[in-house]
Chain A
Amino acid sequence: MRVQTTSFEVEVKNMHVIEANNLTKRFGTLVAVDHVSFSVEEGEIFGFLGPNGAGKTTTINMLITIFKPTEGKGSVLGFDITRQGNNVRNVIGVVPQEYTADDDLTGLENVLLCADLYGIPRNVAKERAMDLLKLVELTDFEDKKVQTYSGGMRRRLELACGLINRPKVLFLDEPTLGLDVQTRTATWNYIRTLKKEFGMTLFMTTHYLEEADALCDRVAIIDHGKIVVIGSPEELKHSLGGDLITLAIKENEDVSGLIQKVEHVKEVRKEDGSYRIKAEIGEVTTPSIIEALRKKGYTVTRLSLTEPTLNEVYLEYTGRSLRDAEESRENVMTQRMTMRRARQ
């Protein structure tokens, strides 16, 4: 084991932490993941964003060696996911979508059970478990049965379980599914803290736009099993061509030509008496437009400036708003179960 680890640390320098090359998974005739390729750099939070049923969980399940890819290759820390499954499983941590902690056991017992699954000796395990529970602020509840935990507490317990083997890569599948907005924000903070504490690389899936925006360094938008675009949330938003300015004037004349001449304006469209203007650096361009209009004697009656969100990005690339896709019965059932338990 030790020999293998050393030899691979030499290699890792010019290697991505996670690499996927044309990963494909078919279930019968259904293509769940369709020739997906991407790579994740060390220390980043990489997110898969897409509606339910887009193939996010299937991709994660291939990377964590639960599913065998039908086609294509993947590696985690240089270990091939099909041929070196056991090596992969040793160095990763997984926080599944579902609440997998045992209701009948206490929080501490659950973390220790996870430690046993990694073959961590009891004395080491106990110390680590205590530290982790402290980190996710469950120390006061460690001897309470998980039945009594709230959704947010359960999620934190799952985080602690996923970190018991000190993984280099942590996989998070829908880390805040079913949680209310406040708990969700709190959970994001825990994830950030844990990442800083352990210096890990994170791979996560989500169908919440705000979550991808708040947490991820880079996002891959996935739809119908295919990656449509990859980039940092900022890049993706910028790629839309900047901010959106909407304005209306009192006069009944077409001023499109005038606005078009203002610096940084990229596109002007007149729609029902108002103008939709795409422009770079909206906060600078907007005053310039007003200035230009005023000089010619026009009066601006209404004005709004919107910075694009990931929702617009999503709309741009998939042609739809982020919505729930058709799903298998099994997925719906498990998600419903997770959500129900989250609300307890």
Chain B
Amino acid sequence: MSETSNNSKSRLHGIWALTNRELKKWYKEPVIFFLSITQPILWMGLLGKAMNIGAVFTSSSISLPPITPPLTPQQLQQLGVFFTDLQSNIMKNAFNTNDYFSFMSVGMIAFTALFTTMFSGMSVVWDRRLGFLNKVLSTPVSRAVIIFSKVLSATLRSMFQAGLIIVIAVAFGLKFGVTFTPLNILGVFAIIFLICVGLSSLFIAITIRSTRIETPMAVVNLINLPMMFASNAFFPTKFMPDWLQTIAKFNPMTYTIDAVRQLLIFNTDWAQLGLDFVCVGIFAVIVATIGIVLSWRYLTK
């Protein structure tokens, strides 16, 4: 009766079925889909526009003591130009761009990747609780495919959201760098792909043995905040204290965010961009390997 020999089967069979199952929960559910695109808009609006750091350095935010004799209109104008230049210089020096919103909206892309991949770990726990994981384990689907499909669905989701954030950020006033070409967008997707593969493998490795949602949730939250703030997402690392800079140096988010900035808003520094890709790539490969090894060990108890 069994017709196993008729089934055309590759080592990777089932990967799309399992990935699509995850994705369907997202794109077929209007509420979840809506929320997942609203969240980055809100963050960008609140953080990017509210923390208008550039405005701190404009002449209107500095009140000069009355000077006698009063300055001539010409001198006043010179002073205005001086302050505008000063602001532009300070911003340029600190953020490598004049526009804090552009700087920070790129951070948002990485931020979204971090939080979207976080849920890939949660869904492993959930599948275990529902018994779905055991059911899949009793089918001929390879153990690695089970993990791959989780990683892949989180990655595809993050890449879609990253694309969306770029579109929204442009609508909100993101200023592309002078070296920007539409081809750079592909580079952005490539780096997002790498970091998401790494991050979701990391979160899956953390949650693979959990039977309850609370513990991994706490661990993941503990990891997420430092990954976000001990990086250059909101503020350049060079102004951070030394110890924090050291942490940021080992934080893959720093390199991801820098790569996206190099591609979108900075004058691309190709050497730096190459370094970013190498660092994030190494992170992705190492963590994905660990994730797969752990899945082999722990999926069969």
Closest chain B residue to A113, Cβ basis: B17
Binds A, one of B23-31, B94-102, B197-205: B23-31
Count contacts between A and B, CB distance < 8 Å: 111
B2 contacts the other chain (CB 8 A): yes
Report the minimum CB–CB distance from A24 to chain B (whole Å): 14
Q: Which of B4, B130, B136 contacts A165 (CB 8 A)?
A: B4
Does A337 belong to the interface (CB within 8 Å)? yes
Besides the known contacts A99-B130, A121-B8, A165-B2, 8 further A-B residue pairs in the complex with CB atoms under 8 A apart? A2-B5, A91-B2, A100-B132, A100-B135, A104-B29, A119-B140, A200-B1, A333-B129
Q: Closest A residue to B136 by CB, please name it.
A: A117
Q: Tell yes or no: A166 within 8 A of B by CB.
A: yes
Please report which residues of chain A, range 328-344, place their CB below 8 angstroms from some CB of chain B when the two chains form the complex. Answer: 330, 333-334, 337-338
Given A116-B17, A166-B3, A337-B129, A68-B138 contact (CB < 8 Å): no
* Contact assessment for A66 and B134 in the assembled complex, using a CB-CB cutoff below 8 Å: yes
Q: Can you report 5 A-B residue pairs in the complex whose CB atoms are below 8 A from each other?
A: A90-B2, A98-B130, A165-B139, A198-B1, A337-B130
Task: Compute how far the CA of A338 lies from the CA of B89 in the bound complex, rounded to whole angstroms.
Answer: 64
Which residue of B has the minimal Cβ distance to A58? B301
Residues of A contacting B293 in the complex (Cβ-Cβ under 8 angstroms): none
| Pairwise interchain contact B134-A117, C-beta atoms closer than 8 A | no
The reply to whether B4 and A1 contact each other, CB–CB distance below 8 Å, is: yes
Contacts of B5 in A (CB 8 A): 1-2, 5
A89-B139, A89-B140, A92-B138 in contact; A117/B1 too (CB < 8 A)? no
Q: Which 8 residue pairs of A and B lie closest in terms of their CB atoms, listed nearest first?
A: A98-B131, A116-B17, A119-B9, A119-B13, A117-B139, A94-B138, A64-B138, A100-B135
B144 within 8 A of A: no
Tell me if B300 counts as interface (CB < 8 A to partner A).
yes
| A120 adjacent to chain B (CB < 8 Å) | yes
Say whether A263 faces chain B, with CB atoms less than 8 Å apart: no
Q: A97 at the A/B interface (Cβ < 8 Å)? A: yes
Q: Which residues of B contact A89 (CB under 8 A)?
A: 138-140
> What residues of chain B lie closer than 8 Å to A198, measured between beta carbons?
1
Chain B residues within 8 Å of A231, by CB: none
Residues of A within 8 A of B140 (CB): 86, 89-90, 117-119
Report whether A102 and B21 are in contact in the complex, using a CB–CB cutoff of 8 Å.
yes
Interface residues of A (CB under 8 A from B): 1-2, 5, 61, 64-68, 85-86, 89-92, 94, 96-100, 102, 104-105, 113-114, 116-121, 124, 161, 165-168, 171, 198-200, 330, 333-334, 337-338
Interface of B toward A, CB cutoff 8 Å: 1-10, 13-14, 16-18, 21, 24-25, 28-29, 129-132, 134-141, 211-212, 300-301
**Complex Cα distance A100/B137, Å?**
12
B2 touches A65 (CB 8 A): no
B2 touches A113 (CB 8 A): no
Q: Report the nearest B residue to A101, measured CB to CB.
A: B132
| A120: chain B residues within 8 A (beta carbon) | 7
- Contact partners of A338 in chain B: CB under 8 A: 131
Given A100-B130, A113-B21, verify A167-B2 contact (CB < 8 Å). Answer: yes
Q: Are A96 and B134 in contact (CB under 8 A)?
A: yes
Hey, which chain A residues are within 8 Å of B10, CB to CB?
119
How distant is the Cα of A61 from the Cα of B140 in the complex, in angstroms? Answer: 15
